[in-house]
Chains A and B, each alone.
Chain A
């Protein structure tokens, strides 16, 4: 089945530990995105990537890192520098159409990270 897979669905970590969230897509999409969602809030952009080996900071990149070594994969590391890491993390991927204009974007099911 084609789609975007985020794993795990729930993740618990101790404060001070780095943790990596997985995002894999088999839709042959060029663009991939990571968002953070807090209770009752909208989606805030952490990082995004248009092509392999290239990515840009979003609005709240501090305390996070990413890599894009393969087109299919865009893992997000939540580092110990992130002050409030407990949140719902959403990964998305999307096509690039004519003139490199991004078109639709589709989401995974999310990972709920709880840091204790």
Chain B
């Protein structure tokens, strides 16, 4: 299947710090999506990106659709304890939606 390489796998940060994670692929994607998943729940959509080079914000979250259409990053500014969870990137290629392996974020108060 198509591969999305997400990094880092895990992050341990202090409250108030900024966070950055990214996804890369050898394939071009039409749409990039970023999700957050809490334990035992379905992923919740955070940001959707549709155009190469697009930069979109949602509160303290900012994400960009890479200019080559093969990568995307997500930044979280001024982290708070409720940011804890697993963050996933996902890409649409045709009608198929592929996910990265996730970044486990831990925020220490």
Contact surface of A with B, Cβ cutoff 8 Å? 4, 6, 31, 33, 35, 41-45, 48, 50, 56, 58-59, 88, 90, 92, 94, 96, 100-110, 112
Contact = CB atoms under 8 A, between A and B. Distances in A.
Contacts of A106: 45
Contact of B41 (A44, A101, A109): A109
Given A102-B95, A110-B41, A41 B30 contact: no
16 contacts: A4-B42, A6-B42, A31-B95, A42-B88, A44-B99, A59-B1, A102-B31, A102-B95, A102-B97, A103-B31, A103-B48, A104-B45, A105-B90, A107-B35, A107-B42, A110-B42
A105 B91 CA distance: 10
Nearest to A104: B48
B43 interface: yes
A45 B44 CA distance: 17
Nearest to B50: A103
List the 9 closest pairs (A to B, CB-CB), nearest first.
A107-B42, A59-B1, A42-B101, A43-B99, A50-B95, A102-B92, A104-B48, A110-B42, A109-B42
Contacts of A56: 95-96
Determine the main DSSP class of A at the interface with B: strand
Interface in B1-51: 1, 6, 30-31, 33, 35, 40-45, 48, 50
Nearest to B93: A102
Contacts of B40: 88, 110, 112
A82 to B, nearest CB: 17
A65 to B, nearest CB: 18
Given A33-B97, A50-B95, A90 B45 contact: no
Contacts of A105: 33, 45, 90, 97
A41 B99 CA distance: 11
Nearest to A41: B101
